[in-house]
Amino acid sequence: AQKVTQAQTEISVVEKEDVTLDCVYETRDTTYYLFWYKQPPSGELVFLIRRNSFDEQNEISGRYSWNFQKSTSSFNFTITASQVVDSAVYFCALSDITGTASKLTFGTGTRLQVTL
Amino acid sequence: NAGVTQTPKFQVLKTGQSMTLQCAQDMNHEYMSWYRQDPGMGLRLIHYSVGAGITDQGEVPNGYNVSRSTTEDFPLRLLSAAPSQTSVYFCASSQRGNNEQFFGPGTRLTVL
């Protein structure tokens, strides 16, 4: 069975601080996808990134960066110079691509609070 | 292009009532899914479909029915609502071969 663990329930930082959200996953699949989603206070789910299991290159998008380490089954997310607008719940998810279906297993989320 | 739409946005039911949550997408996606989100538990998969006429159970299917008669629509039926089904429900769709899922805005359901 697949599992995603986000051990940090809540994180509070002051604006402009860097913050890293941890994600550890378990799967028996050799091919899989990892995702990060943002859920702002308005409630919708905003897709941030998808990474497949064969691509361990780190990715940077503006103030966001992702560190995928297969050896430790981790896919951590760092926000550099955090802003108040980054306040949200962030979910890490794992995709099962066996068979023909695409199903996501989500972590329990990390609530990030950025204050002035 | 509306993406994934869900109706209603809010609903209050009494225990034992039945209702259908509607989900539609206009992206011609083959895959559609229903998730529920509960505090402290993330999102959990209820049912999913890989195409019209094909559905399967996810992690938490009990108390819910689905059918997929068209590519566009994937309704979720609560047969006899229970307070444990109070949750926020998200519908999602994705294209075959592309694991990015597009989520609807959610339906907040309260069962009294």
Other Cβ atoms closer than 10 A to A25:
20
Q: Closest residue of B to A49, CA-based?
A: B100
Residues A112 and A87 sit within 8 Å (Cβ to Cβ):
yes
Task: Supply φ then ψ for residue A37, to 5 degrees.
Answer: -125, 150
Write out chain B's pLDDT in tens, 112 residues: 789 999 999 999 999 999 999 999 999 999 999 999 998 888 999 999 989 999 999 999 999 999 999 999 999 999 999 999 999 999 999 887 766 778 999 999 999 9
Question: Across the interface, which of A104, A107, A109 has its CB nearest the CB of B45?
Answer: A104
> What radius of gyration, in Å, describes the C-alpha atoms of chain A?
14
Does the pLDDT at position A96 exceed 80? no
Q: Closest residue of A to B58, CA-based?
A: A103
Q: Closest residue of A to B30, CA-based?
A: A101
Q: Tens digits of per-residue pLDDT, B69-80?
A: 999 999 999 999
| pLDDT in the model for residue A50 | 87
Does the distance separating the beta carbons of B42 and A107 come in below 8 Å?
yes
State the burial class of residue B9 (Cβ atoms within 10 Å of its Cβ: 0-12, 13-18, 19+): exposed
Does the distance separating the beta carbons of A43 and B100 come in below 8 Å?
no
Residue A100 C-alpha, separation from nearest chain B C-alpha, in angstroms: 7
B71 touches chain A (CB under 8 A): no
In whole angstroms, give the CA distance from residue A82 to residue A112.
10
Does the pLDDT at position A68 exceed 90? yes
In whole angstroms, give the CA distance from residue A107 to residue A86.
19
In DSSP terms, which residues pair with B57 in a beta bridge?
A: B47
Does the distance separating the beta carbons of A43 and B96 come in below 8 Å?
no
- Percentages helix, strand, coil for chain B (3-state, rounded to 5) are 5, 55, 45
